[in-house]
Amino acid sequence: MSQIDENHLTTASAGGAPDPGIEAHRPAHAANGAAGNRASAGGATPLQRDAARTIFEKGAPGRRAFVAPALDVPQVDVSELLPDRFRRAEPPRLPEVSEPEIVRHYVGISKRNFDLDSGFYPLGSCTMKHNPRLHERVAALPGHARLHPLQDPERAQGALELMWNLQQALAEIAGLPHVSLQPSAGSHGELAGVLMTRAYHEDRGETRHKVLTPDTSHGTNPATVTMAGLEVVKLATNADGGIDLDDLRAKTDGDVACLMLTNPNTLGVFDPNIAEIAEIVHGVGATLYYDGANLNAVMGLSRPGDMGFDIVHFNLHKSFTQPHGGGGPGSGPIAVSERIAPFLPRPLVVRRDQSGAAAGNGAARTAVFDLERDGERSIGRLRGFQGNYGCFVRAYAYICSLGADGLRDASETAVLNANYLLARLREKHVAEYLPLAYGELCMHEFVLSGGPMKRELQIKTLDLAKRLLDFGFHPPTVYFPLLVDEALMVEPTETETKETLDAFADAIAEILSEAAEDPEIARNAPYTTPVRRLDEVAAAKRPVIRQAPG
Amino acid sequence: LSRYTATTDADLDAMLKAIGVDSVQEIFDRQIPEAVRLGRALNLPDGLPEQEVYEHLRALAARNTSAEDELTFMGAGMYDHYVPALIDMLTERSEFLTPYTPYQPEISQGGLQVMFEYQTAISELTALPVSNASVYEGPSAVAAAGYLAKLHNGRRRLVISAGVHPHSIETLRTQAHGYGMDVVEVPLSGSHLTDERAWRAAIDEDTSAAIFAQPNFYGAVEDAQALSAAAKQAAGDGAGAGGGGAAPVVIAQVDPVVLGILKPPGECGVDVAVGEGQSLGNRLDFGGPSFGFFAAREEYLRRMPGRIAGETTDVDGRRGFVLTLQTREQHIRRDKATSNICTAQALNALAGVVYLTWLGRRGLVELGELLLARTHYARERLAGLEGVEKLHDQPVIREFAVRLDADVAAVRRRCAQQGVNPGVDLQALTGRAEDRGGLLVAITERRSRADIDRLAEVLEQAVAAERDPAVADDPAVAQKTVAA
């Protein structure tokens, strides 16, 4: 701990109470409701006073939470079973703590997190919609939670049927007939998609090197392309926020394997030229890949397959409300067209209809579900076993709850909420400082540019985001997409009430008027969070990424 | 009005008015060309109330035979360890369950500190100085390590022992084909250890990484030090001819739960240790979600995939945590990123670090010793049965393999009828001819001596029945065989 202790000493002397100037600029109604969370000067909050201590700094030698079952088999000297040269000399320095200490420690640090159940979380491109607790309950049923992944298919029929049903539902939502649930997250689904594209071209005796991605794409797209051994070619964005068709035409040739696209894209813009884009890409024999991060805008309203996409990945943790877990688990199933289907990863869940006789009972036809392991042209396996089944249970429960109408309603409401929030921000004159980057309306999210705010009010998007923390909101995504100056990307989702959207618009307006008076307030924010702005440069320069042995 | 949305008719009117449109439909019509609008309802069933969804999912669960329903000895990558109740309680807390990646560190200190503690625990476990905050799971972690090796030395060959889990080898092949590397599999010797001569011979100056598993897929404890040393030496041998001569990256897929008693990879010359974290406080969940861990020597830090939490201070000098070294990552570096991974397994890694804390310094050793003793007992007990022999004699810790003198699938079916799942059919999983008759048996702390005795009894009966159909048909004879 020596290193960091030194840091503490050197920086602590410069610290102390928040900027005393804040007191004067405190909103007049700061004591009311959510506003109570705002800047208050004169000393630290209780959470701030409670300095972070890790579990490795707690406990005492000899304490324990685990009691091993008694040794009920004949005692044999350990050295006889495991020769000394294979044995660990010193046990790992894990904590020595009692159960109550563990619970108090983790409950304590959990309170240093903001979470979706506590407040509005309009993080663009992440679809932070409500996570129904029903899903946790059904996923925890022992028949799901304690099912071994190698259980014989005939004794895992419920699980396989669930996976089959989910595949069918996702296929219908995507408008593409074949689904693999295997990928572990969106980025893993992308990798599957690009590898399948490669395999498709190789199968036709072609080697293609280039993958087109717009400059608005998620960073995972280009990173995936490189991992799949292909080369990224960037496409320009036109004045309406869609793909620049001239640039696309110029760059689309016989060496292009694929175009990766998000639609609506990361600007919240649905590309109206999608049919033409598909035609251009298909015209040279390339495939069209749909990054499903923004599927929440179009469920039951428009389908990637009908737009001409060949491959789609879903983010079950976004559109289908699998909880985000602080950064996972995710799940990234893929749906593909007929021509890509032979290359899907294995194993695949298949349904075989047996006649009554074969099934050994009186029923006329019985569906039997199985795992298909063979596939001559398959890209192979992307991970162990069948995928993140626990996420499938939750996503499937969600689809069962909503049904066809409910899914469409979810997307309609998500788009309604985004447009309403945008309208509210206009009404409150926020748009003068934070104009919509592209278009008039938006889909399920929108991107504002903080450029004018920075110039006229001397606060950056980062400052606005940090000040929002004092107002009890999770900030939107910031500085993405990269081509928008001082970008602020807002995705309210369908599960928020109008009142919440109003309160958020009010908060932004208030922060701007506060900045007009004194930009230092936002520049030094936040004030009320467990810690204030952190030194990320120092963290990267001299990385301390584990507790030093003490 | 669906139960997860809240827009009343009055809200809707006010909202549409504010937007300046007449209907929600108009918002879509103005943005989505008619040609790509669906124009019909999705062909899906109607939505159901919560209680009916519960019943449907419960009915599906009831059609699975879980570890709750039978006495299971299945392992081969995922294991039926006990998950302490406090893990359920903590992972279900809203504060851990419902946020996303800690992009705003000021309000994400809980999650970031968990990552920091997790990294510390994994470092301690593996005796390697750096760990990331998790990757997806075990086999894809092996493939991710292969990609790290490529970025590190730019060579073309990945040498992997046949003792690595077949899913890991397959996953490595899938992804290596993408990033343009050849995968060379080194066979096992007759004693079910990585064949050291073949291992040495396979590693040349164009070998980027040498990969083995500890313990290996057949449960055998490998001589990890010897394999690491041989890999480094083999590269040295080839150095004269090939020029470069720097050693390949030595990668081990390790079983974390036995690292209380087994020499850790960091003390065996391993450069990168990866593995499946399910054993550490995560449910079976029919294969996921669990987490993969990824630890390495310091020189690989800036090529690691995934999130890494680091310690720092805030403007007032308070200790805090942030995501660090982000210039490795896709959202900054895009096509030059060290990996495309972003969302990984934070919640599962939380379960992992809570589990390791629950076990504690001594508990991890005690658990390892218990597994060692019971596994030894089980192996000797089964090997003493008629028609059952050990597949190999190597030390084993919590999993071992036997060979049955009978059809494994048929024996497993017979056992299932008695409520016992005796383990994994080796050949069905590996597809290797030499694995015919092989049964891979896993022992967790949930399997008592009485359970093991019950397994022996049922397995003996089943093997006998398969070897002599007459026995199977005559309950009296079957009874006698058991008694004998």
> Which residue type does A44 have?
A
Identify any residues that bridge with A214 across adjacent strands, giving them in sequence order. A235
Interface check A45 vs B, CB under 8 A = no
Mark which residues 179-238 of A lie under 8 Å from B by CB. 184-188, 190-191, 194-195, 198, 218-220, 222-229, 232
Identify any residues that bridge with B207 across adjacent strands, giving them in sequence order. B157
- Mean of the per-residue pLDDT values for chain A? 91
Give the DSSP letter string of A191-228: HHHHHHHHHHHHHTT----EEEEETTS-THHHHHHHHT
Q: What is the mean pLDDT of residues A163-170?
A: 98
Instruction: Report how far residue B53's alpha carbon sits from residue B164's, in angstroms, rounded to the nearest whole number.
Output: 41
Q: Testing the interface with B: which of A2, A11, A66, A314 to mutate, by most B Cβ within 10 A?
A: A66
What ipTM goes with this model?
A: 0.96
Does B15 contact A381 at a Cβ distance shorter than 8 Å?
no
Q: How far is B337 from chain A (nearest CA, A)?
A: 6
Chain B hits for A403, CB-CB cut-off 8 Å, are 44-48
Task: Give pLDDT < 70 ranges for chain B.
Answer: 1, 236-245, 471-484
The confidence score (pLDDT) of residue B237 equals 62
A541, with CB counted inside 10 A (0-12, 13-18, 19+), is: exposed
Interface check A428 vs B, CB under 8 A = no
Instruction: Report how far residue B118's alpha carbon sits from residue B281's, in angstroms, rounded to the nearest whole number.
Output: 13
Interface check B418 vs A, CB under 8 A = no
Instruction: Report how far residue B327's alpha carbon sits from residue B133's, in angstroms, rounded to the nearest whole number.
Output: 16
Instruction: Report how far residue A163's alpha carbon sits from residue B33's, in angstroms, rounded to the nearest whole number.
Output: 33
Decide if B274 contacts B251 (C-beta within 8 A).
Answer: yes
Mark which residues 240-269 of B lie under 8 Å from A by CB. 259-264, 267
Mark which residues 332-361 of A lie under 8 Å from B by CB. 345
Does A327 contact B344 at a Cβ distance shorter than 8 Å?
yes
Q: Tell me which residue of A11, A3, A4, A1 sits closest to A533, measured CA to CA.
A: A11
Interface check B399 vs A, CB under 8 A = no
Interface check A104 vs B, CB under 8 A = no
Q: What is the mean pLDDT of residues A344-359?
A: 80
Identify any residues that bridge with A232 across adjacent strands, giving them in sequence order. A211
Instruction: Report how far residue B345's alpha carbon sits from residue B358's, in angstroms, rounded to the nearest whole number.
Output: 20
More confident residue, B3 or A166: A166
Q: Testing the interface with B: which of A314, A381, A392, A415 to mutate, by most B Cβ within 10 A?
A: A381
Decide if A151 contacts B425 (C-beta within 8 A).
Answer: no
Task: Indicate the pLDDT class of residue A355, thresholds 50, 70 and 90.
Answer: low
pTM of the model: 0.94
Decide if A194 contacts A229 (C-beta within 8 A).
Answer: no
Alpha helices in B63-106 (DSSP H): 85-91, 94-97
Residue B211 DSSP one-character state: E
Instruction: Report how far residue B83's alpha carbon sits from residue A543's, in angstroms, rounded to the nearest whole number.
Output: 33
Chain B hits for A13, CB-CB cut-off 8 Å, are 317
pLDDT tens-digit profile of A423-459?
A: 999 999 999 999 999 999 999 999 999 999 999 999 9
Instruction: Report how far residue A174's alpha carbon sits from residue A407's, in angstroms, rounded to the nearest whole number.
Output: 12
Does B99 contact A169 at a Cβ distance shorter than 8 Å?
no
Does A534 contact B106 at a Cβ distance shorter than 8 Å?
yes
Does A82 contact B3 at a Cβ distance shorter than 8 Å?
no
Q: Tell me which residue of A523, A509, A528, A512 sits closest to A463, measured CA to CA.
A: A523
Instruction: Report how far residue A503's alpha carbon sits from residue B19's, in angstroms, rounded to the nearest whole number.
Output: 17
Instruction: Report how far residue B175's alpha carbon sits from residue B149's, in angstroms, rounded to the nearest whole number.
Output: 13
Instruction: Report how far residue A192's alpha carbon sits from residue A341's, in angstroms, rounded to the nearest whole number.
Output: 12
The confidence score (pLDDT) of residue B245 equals 64
- Measured at the CA of A117, the angle between CA A318 and CA A137, to 5 degrees, comes to 75
Q: Testing the interface with B: which of A73, A134, A172, A479 to mutate, by most B Cβ within 10 A?
A: A73
Interface check B40 vs A, CB under 8 A = no
Instruction: Report how far residue B118's alpha carbon sits from residue B357's, in angstroms, rounded to the nearest whole number.
Output: 10
Instruction: Report how far residue B219's alpha carbon sits from residue B216's, in angstroms, rounded to the nearest whole number.
Output: 5
Instruction: Report how far residue A522's alpha carbon sits from residue A507's, in angstroms, rounded to the nearest whole number.
Output: 12
Task: Please state the φ and ψ torsions of residue A487, each to the nearest 5 degrees.
Answer: -65, 145
Instruction: Report how far residue B461's alpha carbon sits from residue B411's, in angstroms, rounded to the nearest whole number.
Output: 9
Task: Indicate the pLDDT class of residue A43, thresholds 50, 70 and 90.
Answer: confident
Instruction: Report how far residue B240's alpha carbon sits from residue B236's, in angstroms, rounded to the nearest whole number.
Output: 8
Report how far apart, in Å, the C-alpha atoms of A453 and of each of A448, A449, A515, B178 are: 11, 8, 9, 44
Instruction: Report how far residue A165's alpha carbon sits from residue B90's, in angstroms, rounded to the nearest whole number.
Output: 31
Interface check B427 vs A, CB under 8 A = no
The confidence score (pLDDT) of residue A354 equals 77
Report how far apart, in Å, the C-alpha atoms of B368 and of each of A88, B361, B441 are: 11, 12, 17
Residue B262 DSSP one-character state: B
Question: Greatest CA span in chain A, whole angstroms?
Answer: 84
The confidence score (pLDDT) of residue A44 equals 85
Decide if A288 contacts A310 (C-beta within 8 A).
Answer: yes
Residue A25 has pLDDT above 50, yes or no: no
Does B133 contact A327 at a Cβ distance shorter than 8 Å?
yes
Which position has the token pair 């992804």? B175
The pair of structure tokens assigned to B432 is 């290797």
The confidence score (pLDDT) of residue B479 equals 52
SS3 B108: strand
pLDDT tens-digit profile of A169-192?
A: 999 999 999 999 999 999 999 999
SS3 A449: strand
SS3 A435: coil
Q: Tell me which residue of B288, B189, B76, B155 sits closest to A382, measured CA to CA.
A: B288
**Would you mind telling me the total number of residues written for chain B in this entry?**
484
pLDDT tens-digit profile of A88-104?
A: 999 999 999 999 999 99
Q: Testing the interface with B: which of A86, A289, A373 to mutate, by most B Cβ within 10 A?
A: A86
Does B99 contact A114 at a Cβ distance shorter than 8 Å?
yes
